[in-house]
Amino acid sequence: MLDFIYYPVSWIMWVWHKVFGFVLGDDNGFAWALSVVFLVFTLRVILYKPFVVQVRSMRKMQEMAPEMQKLRKKYANDRQKLATEMQKLQQQNGANPLMGCLPILVQIPVFIGLFHVLREFKPGKTENYVFNAAENASFVDSSLFGAKLGSAVWPLQNTASVAELGGNLVSQWIVMIPLMIAAGIFTHITARHSVARQQAQIAAGTVAANPQAEIMQKLMLYVFPIGVVVGAPFLPLAVLFYWVANNLWTLGQQYVVYRKIDAEETDKAEKATESAKARAPRPGQKPIRDARRGTAEDVREIADEPIQQAEEEAAEAASGSRATGSDGASADTGTAGTGAARNGNSNGNGNGQKKPGAKPVQKRPGAKARRGKRR
């Protein structure tokens, strides 16, 4: 039913056994153990690029958490609209939640495939997918410090027992206990590394705290490592080699990938800071105002300046004419007051001079008054 998984897994293991068997011998237990370890490494190399995409996508999803929370509150009663807005937000930020699960989803069938292939190594079998009868017998006869790679201490259904493969139960425990402890410790360290990064991002304010994520973090830190230790006696010994190798690779890969992404983000932030400093005015320099970029009031003020200047000049000219042209006006009327009025000066006399105690002539309100009123 799952032959499309079993055949590729067994083929990769077969290739690496040929490589290490050529150096150490086909029946050597280390050759078979290393073939399982490098099966893991081969898979993780194939999944390296999806892992990088996963990290970037998960980081973007964490940064989008506050916006997503706002959308959930806004469209709490409209699931269809919420889904549409969520998808739009993810597309705008280039995030894909499915990429966060891809590496794990690929590793699960590989683990199942390896577990199935190891269970099929039994005495008397003529083939095990790509392995022929001689290679099947080689695996059954091989041992690592007296422990059988294909057997479990407490075998489950269809799993070969230690006695069935001709092993020693004490040797099986001696080899298995350090491996299951190492598997539990590396699982815990891997989870702690991821949790520490998430908490640092929450403390920095780049992502929002999530109660569901906190529960998942506790499961990763404690429940999963304990599950590996408790379940080890029920699994073939070679599966523990797979688990330890997988966690060691994950630790190294996380260190390299996170360091690379952190360096990229630091470099991007430094470039943005330098660009902002380059656009900022120098110390003591007044900012240059551009009418095209100013406010509507600034534009109107600049446009009114020629009109205001003309009005001021006209007011000054009118004032000058009132001071010099009042004599001619009084001769026509015969009265000083009438001549002064015709010249626009109510305080003048027939000679164009001010009466004692007369108030000075005030200029007509000009542009400056209007400008102040506008402001």
User: Tens digit of pLDDT for each residue in 207-226?
Assistant: 556 666 677 777 778 888 89
Rounded distance, CA 58 to CA 24, Å?
A: 43
Between CA 138 and CA 30 the distance in angstroms is: 12
User: Could you tell me the two tokens for 8?
Assistant: 């590729």
Range of the domain at 72: 3-265
Parallel/antiparallel/unpaired status of strands 131-132 and 127-128: antiparallel
Counting the structural domains of the chain, the total is: 1
| Cα–Cα distance, 362 to 213 (Å, whole number) | 78
Domain presence at residue 213: yes
Q: Is residue 273 part of a domain?
A: no
- For residue 202, being part of any structural domain is answered with yes
- pTM attached to this predicted model: 0.66
142 pLDDT higher than 60: yes
Residue 12 has pLDDT above 60, yes or no: yes
In a domain, 332, yes or no: no
The residue that leads in pLDDT, 216 or 179, is 179
Q: CA 23 to CA 348: how far, in whole Å?
A: 125
15 is a domain residue = yes
What is the chain's mean pLDDT, rounded?
Answer: 76
Question: Looking at 109-118, 130-139, 156-165, 180-189, which range is the least confident one?
Answer: 156-165
Q: Is residue 110 part of a domain?
A: yes
195 part of a folded domain: yes
Residue 358 within a domain = no
Radius of gyration of the chain (CA): 44
Please list the residues that pair with 127 across neighbouring strands. 132
